[in-house]
Structure 1
Amino acid sequence: MIDEAHVEAADKMSQVYVAVAAFENSVRQLVTDVMIDNFGEDWWETKVPTPVKNDAKQRLENEEKVRWHVKRGSDPLNYTMLGQLLSIILNNFDAFEPFLHDKDWAKSIFDTVEKSRNVIMHSGMLSERDMARIGSFIKDWNAQVAL
């Protein structure tokens, strides 16, 4: 019932989705680990910018209204957007510097991944060049962070 060309395009982008989703979740894990190690268990309340906390709280509250659907999780970090993860990192960069070394480098990784993420999440198609770039950037990130 669905046009085969749409299925083929979605299948091709599914490979990129897997890489982007894994990247995003690995960043969440890095943020959690670094923040707990440096600031303790209450880091969310004490070290996250207020607008990020407010947005996450709003998303959580909106999801709680739809009881029939699975939730993202109980951790407020699951309710942050990719750019908000970067905001947490940059606002606490001293704690992340041993892993990331350079704010501008980290920002360039996030900016590029987010551009491609947005295309994929809205059913768009990346070019081969864009897919290769995402692969290279994620490989670079993993080599730099190396947890």
Structure 2
Amino acid sequence: MNKKAVNHIRAFGMTGCLISDEIRSIENEYNIELGHHARESTVDEARFYPQFEQAVRAEAANMSQHYELFYCLETSIRKLLVDVLFDAEGSNWWSSERIAQRIRDDVKSRAQKEVDSGISRRSDNEIDYTTFGELSVIITGNWDIFGTIFNSRRAVERVMGSLNLLRGPIAHCCPVTEDEVDRLHLTVKDWFRTMS
């Protein structure tokens, strides 16, 4: 399968995520259950949720859809990077000069911090320890191979910068205004438009 077809499939998948996100917004805004996402009560929910105010729980449910969208987006970007870099450099792509030493050092430090804290490592893959900003640096720093996928380096930089700003409130548990939700959806669409 050629890269253009793969990119179209990825775009199709993310369009599904956007539609799912919109349906969930309608469910939350009008406090209705359309049966799109069935929520099962968990043991933790029964233990902890009653201790939180209903308004906070409703806000969390509303924010979860934006987190889900960003999770899908960030995961797909990481997978795209791994696929392209693997094709270009083989299995040792992380150790190649395509990944800046500063990024490799920061990733190693983040992974070690988890080990030193005694918590489970989030992943065995170094790419999963990169920040969103570092993902942008990897793409634009390797434009010779990513330029075949994206139609404009400046557009990628702009869209990744916007996504990084929009990611902040979502990742740090702050409510997102309606304007920023619209901006998030448009920026995700812009991301897919950057692909050739």
Shared fold, TM over 0.5 = yes
Deviation digits for residues 95-129 of structure 1 (CA, Å, limit 9, x no counterpart): 00121121111111111111121111211111111
Distance 2:193 2:155 in 1: 13
**Would you say the 8 A contact 2:152–2:194 is kept in 1?**
no
Shift of 1:65: 2.1
Which residue of structure 1 lines up, in the alignment, with residue 4 of structure 2? none
Shift of 1:51: 0.9
Aligned to 1:80: 130
Query: Whose RCO is larger (CA < 8 A, sep 6+)?
Result: 1
Equivalents in 1 of 2:160, 2:122: separation in Å? 21
SS of the equivalent of 1:100 reads coil
Query: If the length of structure 2 is used for normalisation, what is the TM-score?
Result: 0.69
Q: Which residue of 1 aligns with 2:80?
A: 30
Q: Which protein shows a greater Rg?
A: 2
Matching residue within 96, 110, 114 for 1:63? 114
Separation of aligned partners in 2, 1:132 and 1:80:
27
Contact 2:88-2:145 within 8 A present in 1 as well:
yes
Q: Which runs of 5+ in 1 are unaligned?
A: none
RMSD after superposition: 1.5
Instruction: Report whether the alignment pairs 1:114 with 2:141.
Output: no
For 2:188 and 2:62, how far apart are their aligned partners in 1? Answer: 18
- 1:70 Cα deviation after fit: 2.9
Indicate the residue corresponding to 2:152 in structure 1: 102
CA distance in 1, matches of 2:138, 2:75: 15
In 1, are the aligned partners of 2:103 and 2:130 still within 8 Å (CA)? yes
**Does residue 52 of the first structure (1) align with residue 103 of the second (2)?**
yes
Secondary structure of the residue that 1:90 maps to in structure 2? helix
Structure 1, residues 64-84: CA drift from partner, whole Å, max 9, x if none? 1233x3322111111000000
Q: Size of the alignment, in residue pairs?
A: 145
> TM-score, with normalisation over the residues of structure 1?
0.91
- Could you tell me the percent identity over the aligned residues? 26
Question: Match of 1:118, SS?
Answer: helix
**Alignment check: 8 A CA contact 2:70 2:167 kept:** yes
Q: Equivalents in 1 of 2:60, 2:195: separation in Å?
A: 30
